Structures are given as C-alpha cells and as structure tokens.
C-alpha cells in the first residue's frame, strides 16, 4: 500500500447511523485528527421510512473526500477505511448495482403481516436467527413484503444489499458482508454459518442474490482505480466492514471476553453482553448474534423507550433542575408502586407537585424492575464478569448510586467519546487480513 508518510498511518472510520453519518480519521496512537458528519438523508411518509441510495452515496462521497482533504490526513497515509453501520436498511439493485426503488430503512415496519406469516412458517427462528420471532423491521420480512407487493421489482433485482454492503461495492466493485450486520436480518442461519435455505425457498431467491458473509473485518477489498482517480489519491487502500454500531461501541467500551457487559443508558436502555455461544432462549426484548471480535457472540437486551420516558418526565417536572432531582424522587418515595408509561399529557397537567414526584418515582421503579429482569435473563446465558456503564444518564451521581444498589456488583463508567470509532479499529486489528496495493 502506497503512503506519503509510512510513519503515520491513519484509519478512516465511517459510522452510518440513523441520525448522522460520521467520519473520523484516527492515527496509530488513537488520536482523532479529523472528524466530520452529515445528516442521514432519510424520508418519512405515513409510517414508511426510506432513503434514496443515490443521495446516500453522494453524501458519503462528500464526507469521505472532506476527511481526505484535511491537511493532516493529506500528509499521512490511509491504512484502511472501516465501516460500521445501522443494520437492516437495504435496497434492491439491478445487474449494474443501480437501485430499483428507494431503500427501506430499518425503522420501517410495513411488513407486519409478513412477520406473522414467517413466525408461523419458521418455528425454529430463534435457534437460527437470534431473534425470538420475526419482526416487521427485519430485512427478511421486508424482502417478503417486496415479493408480495412489488413482485416486478423482486424479479428484476440482481441483489438486495444492506446499506453498508452497497457502499462497499460502489467503492471496491466487490459484494461482501460481515456476519454481525448481516446476521441481524433473519436470512442468516447461525447453526450452519450460512444462508437459511428454508427462507430462500419462501422468498423464491437463490444464494447469488446475497453477499459472501464472513466475520467482521475478516475481508477487505481495495478501493477501485476509478475511485482512486476521482479522489485524487496516490495509492489505494482497502475497505473493511466492521459490523453494526452497537458491536463496535461495545468493543470501544472495552468488552473483551464472555461475561463482559456494557449498559448504555441513552435514548434506549441497551445491555450488550459478550457470550460464548448463540443464545436461543430469547425474550421479546432480546437479540442474539455474532460479536464482531473472535469467535464469541452477543446478547442484546433493550428497553427502547427508557431514555425518552425519563427525559419526558425531566422536561415536564424538573425543566430547570438536573437529573439528580428527578432520580431523588425514587429515594424519597420508596413506597410507591411501579408505574409503567406511557401517560397522556392531560393526565400529567392535572398532577400536584407531590403527585408528580410520586409518579416519577413509580416510573423509575418500573425501569429498575426491567433492569433487574434483564440481568436475571443475562445470567442464564453468561456468568457476568465486568460491567461498564455509558450514556447520558450516567452523568447523574444519584442514578449511579441507585443502579449500584440494583446490580450489587461493581461497575465502571465508560463514556468514551466516539467509542464506536475506536471499536471499529479494534475489530480491524483483531480480525483483518492485511491487503497491499
């Protein structure tokens, strides 16, 4: 691989999130030397979440060129482009890899009937795919939706790349994927480490419509000579797919072995656990899949509206105060019953201050009961070892004291900025086969 300064090689890391697409340049000592972002160009209409893949490609092209034009980056050599991504988002493409319709974003849940159908036809779905049952947001259900509602598109399609696979193919000319991201779509069978033949039969598709799947960052492909010329580069560098954002963030937070756990108290409460094998006894709010490093797997427990509900109470009743004041209501009203959300705004408006505080305490108790239940299920799958906490709620010392009492086990707070960026580099260093131009 040709570089202008072999003593300082940089990694380009691209994170395709649902809100922003972020690009960072990191040197060999894990210093961020450049960082840029763009909004994810998604559209929403009547419950449909879609993205123009051409617009996405233009956005990522601008973002990558902006990083590459940074003075420090230009004076250094790029070792590799590492991509982490949201899962499930895809588009059908023709033989030239041109999209046949707008891409369908993972948030889209139009495939509810297809999810029910697949649940009836695939009783062993959890053992194969790592989900308790097929979900309307999943790739597999939306492929069936295409077959039923847009059969002409399905028939004409050469392939159905996920958004990270599409970008990698446009940059390199090769169609490949990683088992962490692709494994979450329901088409992959972890028992066989291959495509699920029964699902292919139901969809009426062959294996040729899908990429070659390997573990995260195991395969890299050099950017094409055309991209090299378009970007004005002196040499070519490889592109590696490093799994989804949750896995990369877990690796960046320091999870290394089975039993290591990271709890993110953000918009959702997400508990990521490294496990030795694929967990198949799953609840509704659990997902299992391939951990991006080594031969381990992950178990993901989540409460999707945790942070939104807590923030709603904070803005409603403690707008000019800190989260500490909100969480103290739980300590001051230990006698209240757990109170599951949601609530009507009209009901909240009618509460006296005392009633409001008791409501807050009840909601917090409900969320803590969920945390206890999740850990009870996690301990069935792994002997909990090291626990780390991250996310905005960890800024509250009162919340940390409450969580410490619930977990009854030591933990560290790891709010490392851009954990996913550093996690992608760790995945690359552990898994990648070096490629030279």
Q: With a cut of 80, say whether residue 377 has pLDDT above it.
A: yes
Residues 6+ apart with CB under 8 A from 149: none
Residue 436 confidence class, pLDDT cut points 50, 70, 90 = low
List b or e across 370-389, with b for residues whose CB sees 16 or more CB atoms inside 10 angstroms.
bbeebbebbeebbebebbbb
Q: Where in the chain is the domain with CATH 3.30.420.40?
A: 9-246+421-431, 255-414
Give tens-digit pLDDT for 183-235.
999 999 999 999 999 999 999 999 999 999 999 999 999 999 999 999 999 89
Higher pLDDT, 402 or 29: 402
The 8 Å CB, 24+ separation contacts for 284-288 are 284/132, 285/374, 286/132, 286/377, 287/130, 287/131, 287/184, 288/130, 288/131
Residues 6+ apart with CB under 8 A from 131: 125, 138, 186, 282, 287, 288
Summarize the confidence of residues 60-65 as an average pLDDT: 95
Residue 437 confidence class, pLDDT cut points 50, 70, 90 = low
Tokens of 355: 């009633």
Q: With a cut of 70, say whether residue 435 has pLDDT above it.
A: no
Q: With a cut of 50, say whether residue 4 has pLDDT above it.
A: no
Q: Are strands 176-178 and 32-39 parallel, antiparallel or unpaired?
A: unpaired
Residue 216 CA neighbour count, 13 Å, CB half: 34
Tokens of 25: 């340049």
pTM score: 0.89
pLDDT at 212: 95
Residue 6 confidence class, pLDDT cut points 50, 70, 90 = very low
Q: What percent of the chain has pLDDT over 90?
A: 83
Give tens-digit pLDDT for 122-162.
999 999 999 999 999 999 999 999 999 999 999 999 999 99
Average pLDDT, whole number, for the chain? 93
| CATH code for the domain defined by 255-414 | 3.30.420.40
Verify cis geometry, omega within 30 degrees of 0, for the bond prior to 342: yes
Summarize the confidence of residues 23-27 as an average pLDDT: 92
Q: With a cut of 70, say whether residue 5 has pLDDT above it.
A: no
Q: Which of 28, 16, 22 is nearest to 53 (CA)?
A: 16
pLDDT at 60: 97
Summarize the confidence of residues 285-304 as an average pLDDT: 94
List the single range of 29-33, 211-215, 255-259 with lowest mean pLDDT: 29-33
Summarize the confidence of residues 234-246 as an average pLDDT: 94
State the fold for domain 9-246+421-431. Answer: Nucleotidyltransferase; domain 5 (3.30.420)
Residue 1 confidence class, pLDDT cut points 50, 70, 90 = very low
The 8 Å CB, 24+ separation contacts for 275-278 are 275/299, 275/381, 275/382, 276/382, 278/130, 278/190
Quickly list H helices, 6-137.
Answer: 53-68, 71-74, 112-121, 125-129
Tokens of 378: 């996690």
Distance between CA atoms of residues 106 and 138, nearest Å: 7
Residue 434 confidence class, pLDDT cut points 50, 70, 90 = low
Give tens-digit pLDDT for 322-340.
999 999 999 999 999 999 9
Cα–Cα–Cα angle for 181, 162, 94, rounded to 5 degrees? 155
| CB contact at 8 A, 296 and 431 | no
Q: With a cut of 50, say whether residue 415 has pLDDT above it.
A: yes
């Amino acid at each position: 691989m040709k570089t202008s300064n072999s003593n300082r090689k940089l990694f380009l890391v691209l994170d395709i999130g649902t809100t922003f697409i972020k690009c960072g340049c990191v040197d060999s000592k894990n210093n961020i030397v450049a960082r840029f972002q763009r909004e994810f160009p998604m559209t929403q209409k009547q419950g449909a979440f879609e993205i123009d893949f051409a617009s996405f490609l233009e956005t990522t092209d601008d973002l990558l060129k902006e990083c590459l034009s940074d003075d420090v980056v230009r004076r250094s050599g790029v070792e590799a482009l590492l991509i982490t991504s949201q899962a499930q988002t895809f588009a059908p493409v023709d033989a030239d890899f041109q999209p046949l319709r707008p891409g369908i974003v993972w948030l889209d849940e139009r495939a509810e009937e297809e999810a029910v159908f697949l649940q009836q036809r695939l009783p062993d779905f959890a053992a194969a795919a790592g989900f308790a049952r097929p979900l309307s947001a999943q790739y597999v259900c939306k492929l069936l939706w295409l077959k039923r509602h847009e059969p002409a598109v399905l028939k004409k399609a050469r392939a159905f790349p996920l958004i990270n696979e599409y970008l990698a193919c446009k940059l390199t000319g090769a169609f490949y994927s990683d088992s962490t991201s692709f494994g979450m779509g329901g088409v992959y069978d972890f028992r066989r480490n291959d495509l699920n033949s029964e699902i292919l039969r139901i969809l009426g598709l062959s294996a040729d419509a899908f990429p070659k799947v390997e573990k995260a960052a195991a395969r890299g492909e050099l950017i094409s000579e055309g991209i090299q010329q378009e970007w004005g580069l002196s040499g070519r560098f490889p592109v590696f797919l490093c799994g989804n954002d949750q896995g990369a963030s877990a690796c960046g937070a320091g999870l290394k072995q089975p039993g290591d756990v990271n709890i993110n108290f953000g918009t959702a409460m997400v508990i990521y656990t490294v496990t030795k094998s694929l967990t198949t006894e799953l609840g509704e709010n659990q997902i299992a899949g391939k951990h991006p490093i080594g031969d381990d797997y992950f178990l993901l427990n989540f409460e999707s509206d945790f942070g939104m509900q807590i923030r709603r109470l904070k803005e409603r009743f403690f707008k000019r105060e800190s989260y500490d004041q909100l969480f103290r209501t739980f300590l001051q009203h230990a006698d209240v019953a757990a109170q599951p959300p949601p609530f009507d705004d009209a009901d909240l408006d009618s509460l006296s201050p005392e009633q409001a505080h008791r409501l807050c305490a009840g909601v917090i108790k409900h969320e803590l009961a969920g945390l206890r239940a999740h850990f009870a299920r996690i301990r069935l799958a792994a002997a909990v070892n090291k626990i780390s906490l991250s996310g905005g709620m960890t800024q509250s010392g009162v919340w940390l004291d409450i969580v410490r009492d619930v977990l009854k086990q030591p933990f560290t707070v790891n709010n490392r900025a851009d954990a996913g960026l550093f996690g992608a580099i760790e995945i690359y260093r552990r898994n990648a086969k070096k490629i030279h131009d």
